[in-house]
C-alpha cells in the first residue's frame, strides 16, 4: 500500500525463517540420501560397498572396515564407527569428514552440500525469482517431464552441467544443461562424469553412459563416462582428469560400443594415462549387454575388471615405491595401531608360532586367540579391542574342539564379545590348493556378517600345506610358494590388513643348538623367517617339568624377553623361572596353605550367612582377625581382595531386600556362590520355643573388575564364572 509517497511494508506474509531452515535441511538430506553412494565415494574414495553397506576405516577416510554406513531400508544413511562407538546420520557424517560440527557449522556445511548437489539456496531463489527466466525452452517442454538426471561436477564438487533424459513416444533423448552459461547445451569442453571420486582414485573404469557408471559406483567401483556415451565427440571431451591413472574401458557388447572404446582409448593415451586396457565382454552375453546389466544380474564385476579378457592399449610402467631420507624424516604420521601389542602382530603382518609335538601349541593357541577375540590381555599381549578371529584348524574334531573351548578361562564380562568374534572350523581334510581356497575364502569372508576378520589363524601348516610342484614343507621353495600363493591369496581376498598366525612344528635340534637359535628349528625356516614379521616358539627345556619357555622374535619392534609359562588350574600363566622351580616342593606347601586359608574364608562367609550374619570386607577382617589361622586384619583384607578379583567373592548392594542395614562401603556386602541368608521373622513358638525363620538365596549385584578393580554390575547373578583360581602374585604369603 502507498499514500503520499510513503511506502508501507507489511511483514505479516514473510516466511518464518526457522521453518525455511528446517525445510532446507530436509531438502539437503533428501538430496544426499538420493545420491548416497556417490556422496560416500566422493567423501571417502577408499571406501567399499559390500552387502548393502558402505565400509571405510574412519571419518578421516582411511582404508578399513570400522565405520559402516547403511545403504538399504529405513536406516539408509545412518552410520556407526565401531572403533569409537560414534554414529549419526549422513549430514553429520559429511560434517565429520570435513572436520566440522553439523550443529555449529551448519550454514557453511549446508552451502557446501547445496553446491555439491547443484541446489540453489532459498534466499538466493527468492531474491532472483523476479528476473530468472524459465529454465527450459519450448522445444524441451514438448518432450514432457524428464525421466532421469545426472549431474556433472568439478573435482571439488561444483556443478558444471546436468544431463536430462526424456522418453517421448519417438524414443529416448538426452539434453545437456550448461550450468555456467545457463543454456541448453553441452559445456565446452565436455567434462567427465563423477570427477570428485575420479580425482582421488588410482584406477578408473570408463563405461558407456551415466546409467552404467552409476551401477558400478553403487557397487563400490570408481567409474566415469564421457557425456553422450558412445556418441560422445572424443575431441570435445576433457580427458585430462584421467592423466596418471590406470583406465579400464568397459564397452557395451555391440559395434558402436567397441568403436567408442577404441576412440576413448586413444584419447586416454594422449591425455597421459598410466595404463589403458579395453575389456572384452563375454561372448556368452547378449547383444548390447553392458555394465548396468552386469550389476543387475549379480555378475562378478570386480573379477572381470581384475582378471577378464582384455586388449592392452598402453601397459603400465613398472613402479617401485622409493622414499628420500628427507621424506622419511619429515613423515610424522602415526604408526598403525598393533593388532596385538607390543608389536606381536601388526596389520598385514604374519606371525609363525612353532613348537615341538605335544608341547601344547594348539591348546596355547586356542586360549590366546580366544582372549584376543574377547579383547582380554593374555600373558602381557594386548589387543586394542575385541578382535574378529577366524581359526582355521585341521587337527581337532568338532566334539573335542568344543570340549577344549569350554576349558578356556575367559573373564566373565568379556565372554559376550568372544562368543561372536571367535569362529573356528572343525578338523579339515583338505589342502590349500585352488579347490581348497575356493571353499575357505568365502567361508572366512562371510564369517562375521560382512565385516572383515582381524586375524586369520591356520593350525597347523603341515595338514593344509600345498607347495605346488616344488616339494614339501621342509623345502624353502615350496614354503615360499605356500606363503605367497596360498596364505597371501587368502588374506588379499578377505582383508589385506588382517594379521595371519601360522602354527608350525619345529624340527628336532640339540639343546645347545636350540638355545642358540630356536627359530632355526622351524621346518622351512629359511623362507619363513624371510617372510614373517614376528615369531613365537613354545619350548619345554626340561621334559620332567611342565614349565615351558615362550620365545619371541620381532621384525618391527624391540625384543620381548623370554617368558616362562605353565598351565595352572586350566589357565596359562607366567611363572617364576628360578625360585619356583628350584624350590618347587616348598612352593607347593605354600600353595596348599594359601588354598586352605582361602577355602576357610569362603566357608566362613557361607556358614555365617546361614546363621543370619553378613559382612563387608572391613567387618569380616575385624571379626576374624587371628581366628582359624587367617592371620592379621590386613592379611585377611588382602585375601578378600584377591578372591574378589578371581571371582570367588562378589558383592550385593540391595541390603534392604534382605533386612540388613546399608553397607558403608562402595562395594557392598560380601557374597559367595550358593549363599543362603537365614533370618528370624517372628516371635518364638509358644509350644516349642523355636524361632520362625526365613531362608533367602543371596544373589550378587556387583563384581570386582579384573582390569580396573572397580565394582561393576553383574550380567547374570545366577551364573558364577571364576576368573582365577589362586593367583600367587596377588596373594600374601
- Three-state SS for 155-203 is CCCCEEEEEEEECCCCCCEEEEEECCCCECCCCCCECECCHHHHCCCCE
Band of residue 80 on the pLDDT scale cut at 50, 70, 90? very high
Phi and psi angles of residue 669, each rounded to the nearest 5 degrees, phi first: -80, 150
What's the rounded Cα separation, in Å, for the pair 677 and 695?
Answer: 6
Domains of the chain from N-terminus onward = 23-124 (3.90.580.10), 138-314 (3.40.1360.10), 350-582 (3.40.50.300), 584-713 (no CATH)
Is the pLDDT assigned to residue 520 strictly greater than 90?
A: no
Residue of 189, 205, 441 whose CA lies nearest to 305 = 205
Contacts of 417 (CB under 8 A, 6+ apart): 373, 374, 375, 386
Q: Is 354:536 a contact under the CB 8 Å cutoff?
A: yes
pLDDT recorded at residue 24:
66
Q: How many residues does the structure list for the chain?
A: 733
Give 355: exposed, middle or buried? Use CB within 10 Å, 0-12, 13-18, 19+: buried
State the cell numbers at 447. Answer: 564369517
pLDDT recorded at residue 173:
85
Contacts of 199 (CB under 8 A, 6+ apart): 155, 241
What's the rounded Cα separation, in Å, for the pair 273 and 248?
Answer: 11
pLDDT recorded at residue 79:
92
Q: Is 483:476 a contact under the CB 8 Å cutoff?
A: no
Q: Is 373:388 a contact under the CB 8 Å cutoff?
A: yes
Is the pLDDT assigned to residue 575 strictly greater than 50?
A: yes
Choose the weakest-confidence range: 333-347, 456-470, 584-598: 584-598
Number of other residues whose CB lies within 10 A of the CB of residue 692: 10
Is the pLDDT assigned to residue 95 strictly greater than 60?
A: yes
Give me the half-sphere count of Cα atoms (radius 13 Å) on the Cβ side of residue 52.
6
pLDDT recorded at residue 581:
45
What's the rounded Cα separation, in Å, for the pair 134 and 131?
Answer: 10
What's the rounded Cα separation, in Å, for the pair 373 and 454?
Answer: 9
Band of residue 142 on the pLDDT scale cut at 50, 70, 90? low
Tens-place pLDDT, residues 376-412: 999 999 999 999 999 999 888 999 999 999 989 888 8
Band of residue 428 on the pLDDT scale cut at 50, 70, 90? confident
Tens-place pLDDT, residues 449-497: 889 999 999 999 888 998 887 677 777 788 888 888 899 999 999 999 9
Phi and psi angles of residue 287, each rounded to the nearest 5 degrees, phi first: -60, 140
pLDDT recorded at residue 268:
93
Is the pLDDT assigned to residue 231 strictly greater than 50?
A: yes
Report the alpha-carbon angle 715-719-725, nearest 5: 105
DSSP state of 382: B
Number of other residues whose CB lies within 10 A of the CB of residue 684: 11
pLDDT recorded at residue 130:
31
What's the rounded Cα separation, in Å, for the pair 609 and 587?
Answer: 34
Choose the weakest-confidence range: 502-516, 578-592, 675-689: 578-592
Radius of gyration for the chain, computed over Cα atoms and rounded to the nearest angstrom: 35
Is the pLDDT assigned to residue 120 strictly greater than 80?
A: no
Band of residue 577 on the pLDDT scale cut at 50, 70, 90? low
Band of residue 509 on the pLDDT scale cut at 50, 70, 90? low
* SS3 at position 652: strand
Contacts of 475 (CB under 8 A, 6+ apart): 467, 524
Q: Is 163:149 a contact under the CB 8 Å cutoff?
A: yes
DSSP state of 238: -
Residue of 349, 348, 353, 384 whose CA lies nearest to 368 = 353
Tens-place pLDDT, residues 436-451: 999 999 999 999 988 9
What's the rounded Cα separation, in Å, for the pair 423 and 364?
Answer: 17
Band of residue 3 on the pLDDT scale cut at 50, 70, 90? very low
Is the pLDDT assigned to residue 34 strictly greater than 90?
A: no
Alpha helices in 191-300 (DSSP H): 195-198, 210-218, 255-271, 291-296
Q: How far is CA 246 from CA 61, 242, 366, 614, in A?
A: 21, 8, 44, 75
pLDDT recorded at residue 510:
67
* SS3 at position 276: strand
pLDDT recorded at residue 290:
94
pTM: 0.43
Tens-place pLDDT, residues 536-571: 999 888 777 888 999 998 888 888 889 999 998 888
Directed axis angle between helix 17-34 and helix 90-97, to 10°? 80
Is the pLDDT assigned to residue 728 strictly greater than 50?
A: no
- Residue 196's beta-bridge partner residues? none
Q: Is 597:617 a contact under the CB 8 Å cutoff?
A: no
DSSP state of 74: G
Phi and psi angles of residue 310, each rounded to the nearest 5 degrees, phi first: -155, 160
Give 629: exposed, middle or buried? Use CB within 10 Å, 0-12, 13-18, 19+: exposed
Q: Is 361:537 a contact under the CB 8 Å cutoff?
A: no
Query: What's the mean pLDDT in 670-695?
Result: 82
Band of residue 304 on the pLDDT scale cut at 50, 70, 90? very high
Query: What's the mean pLDDT in 184-204?
Result: 92
> Ranked by mean pLDDT, which of 207-216, 473-482, 510-519 comes out on top?
207-216
Q: Is 587:597 a contact under the CB 8 Å cutoff?
A: no
Amino acid at each position: 500500500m502507498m499514500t503520499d509517497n510513503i511506502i508501507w511494508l507489511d511483514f505479516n506474509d514473510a516466511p518464518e525463517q526457522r521453518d525455511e531452515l528446517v525445510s532446507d535441511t530436509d531438502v539437503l538430506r533428501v538430496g544426499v540420501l538420493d545420491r548416497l553412494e556417490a556422496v560416500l565415494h566422493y567423501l571417502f574414495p577408499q571406501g567399499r560397498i559390500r552387502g548393502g553397506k558402505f565400509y571405510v576405516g574412519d571419518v578421516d577416510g582411511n582404508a578399513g572396515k570400522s565405520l559402516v554406513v547403511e545403504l538399504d531400508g529405513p536406516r539408509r544413511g545412518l552410520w556407526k564407527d565401531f572403533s569409537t562407538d560414534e554414529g549419526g546420520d549422513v549430514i553429520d557424517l559429511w560434517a565429520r569428514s570435513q572436520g566440522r560440527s553439523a550443529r555449529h557449522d551448519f550454514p557453511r556445511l549446508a552451502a557446501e552440500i547445496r553446491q555439491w548437489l547443484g541446489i540453489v539456496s532459498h534466499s538466493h531463489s527468492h531474491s532472483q525469482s523476479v528476473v530468472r527466466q524459465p529454465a527450459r525452452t519450448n522445444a524441451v517442454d514438448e518432450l514432457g517431464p524428464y525421466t532421469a538426471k545426472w549431474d556433472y561436477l568439478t573435482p571439488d564438487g561444483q556443478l558444471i552441467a546436468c544431463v536430462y533424459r526424456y522418453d517421448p513416444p519417438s524414443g529416448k533423448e538426452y539434453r545437456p544443461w550448461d550450468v555456467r552459461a545457463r543454456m541448453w547445451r553441452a559445456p565446452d569442453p565436455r567434462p567427465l562424469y563423477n570427477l570428485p571420486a575420479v580425482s582421488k582414485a588410482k584406477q578408473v573404469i570408463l563405461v558407456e553412459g551415466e546409467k552404467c557408471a552409476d551401477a558400478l559406483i553403487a557397487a563400490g567401483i570408481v567409474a566415469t563416462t564421457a557425456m553422450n556415451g558412445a556418441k560422445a565427440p572424443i575431441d570435445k571431451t576433457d580427458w585430462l582428469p584421467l592423466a596418471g591413472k590406470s583406465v579400464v574401458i568397459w564397452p557395451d557388447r555391440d559395434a558402436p560400443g567397441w568403436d567408442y572404446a577404441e576412440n576413448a582409448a586413444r584419447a586416454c593415451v594422449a591425455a597421459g594415462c598410466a595404463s589403458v586396457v579395453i575389456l572384452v565382454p563375454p561372448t556368452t552375453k547378449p547383444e548390447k549387454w553392458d555394465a548396468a546389466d552386469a550389476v543387475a544380474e549379480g555378475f562378478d564385476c570386480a573379477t572381470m575388471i581384475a582378471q577378464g579378457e582384455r586388449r592392452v592399449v598402453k601397459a603400465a610402467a613398472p613402479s617401485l615405491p622409493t622414499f628420500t631420507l628427507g621424506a622419511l624424516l619429515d613423515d610424522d604420521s602415526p604408526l598403525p595401531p598393533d593388532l596385538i601389542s607390543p608389536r606381536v602382530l601388526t596389520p598385514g603382518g604374519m606371525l609363525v608360532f612353532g613348537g615341538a609335538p605335544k608341547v601344547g601349541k594348539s591348546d596355547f593357541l586356542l586360549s590366546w586367540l580366544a582372549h584376543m577375540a574377547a579383547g582380554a590381555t593374555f600373558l602381557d599381549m594386548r589387543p586394542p579391542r575385541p578382535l574378529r578371529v577366524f581359526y582355521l584348524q585341521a587337527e581337532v574334531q568338532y566334539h573335542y574342539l568344543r570340549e577344549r573351548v569350554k576349558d578356556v578361562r575367559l573373564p566373565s564380562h568379556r565372554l559376550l564379545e568372544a562368543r561372536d568374534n571367535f569362529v573356528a572350523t572343525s578338523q579339515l581334510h583338505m589342502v590349500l590348493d585352488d579347490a581348497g581356497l575356493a571353499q575357505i575364502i568365502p567361508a572366512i569372508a562371510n564369517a562375521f556378517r560382512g565385516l572383515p576378520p582381524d586375524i586369520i589363524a591356520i593350525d597347523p601348516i603341515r595338514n593344509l600345506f600345498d607347495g605346488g610342484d616344488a616339494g614339501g614343507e621342509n623345502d624353502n621353495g615350496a614354503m615360499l610358494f605356500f606363503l605367497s600363493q596360498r596364505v597371501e591369496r587368502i588374506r588379499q581376498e578377505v582383508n589385506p590388513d588382517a594379521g595371519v598366525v601360522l602354527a608350525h612344528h619345529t624340527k628336532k635340534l640339540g639343546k645347545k643348538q636350540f638355545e642358540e637359535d630356536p627359530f632355526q628349528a622351524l621346518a622351512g625356516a629359511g623362507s619363513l623367517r624371510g617372510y614373517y614379521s614376528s615369531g613365537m616358539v613354545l619350548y619345554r627345556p626340561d621334559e620332567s617339568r611342565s614349565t615351558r619357555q615362550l620365545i619371541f622374535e620381532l621384525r618391527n619392534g624391540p625384543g620381548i624377553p623370554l617368558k616362562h609359562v605353565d598351565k595352572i588350574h586350566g589357565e596359562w600363566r607366567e611363572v617364576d623361572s628360578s625360585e619356583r622351580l628350584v624350590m618347587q616342593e616348598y612352593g607347593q606347601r605354600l600353595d596348599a596353605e594359601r588354598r586352605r586359608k582361602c577355602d576357610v574364608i569362603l566357608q566362613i562367609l557361607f556358614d555365617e550367612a546361614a546363621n543370619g550374619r553378613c559382612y563387608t570386607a572391613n567387618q569380616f577382617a575385624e571379626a576374624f582377625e587371628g581366628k582359624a589361622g587367617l592371620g592379621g586384619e590386613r592379611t585377611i583384607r588382602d585375601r578378600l581382595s584377591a578372591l574378589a578379583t578371581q571371582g570367588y567373592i562378589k558383592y550385593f548392594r540391595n541390603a534392604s531386600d534382605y533386612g540388613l542395614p546399608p553397607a558403608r562401603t562402595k562395594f557392598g556386602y560380601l557374597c559367595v556362590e550358593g549363599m543362603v541368608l537365614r533370618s528370624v521373622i517372628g516371635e518364638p513358638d509358644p509350644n516349642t520355643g523355636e524361632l520362625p525363620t526365613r531362608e533367602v538365596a543371596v544373589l550378587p549385584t556387583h563384581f570386582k573388575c579384573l582390569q580396573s578393580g572397580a565394582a561393576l554390575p553383574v550380567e547374570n547373578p545366577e551364573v558364577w564364572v571364576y576368573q582365577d583360581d589362586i593367583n600367587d602374585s596377588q596373594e600374601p604369603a
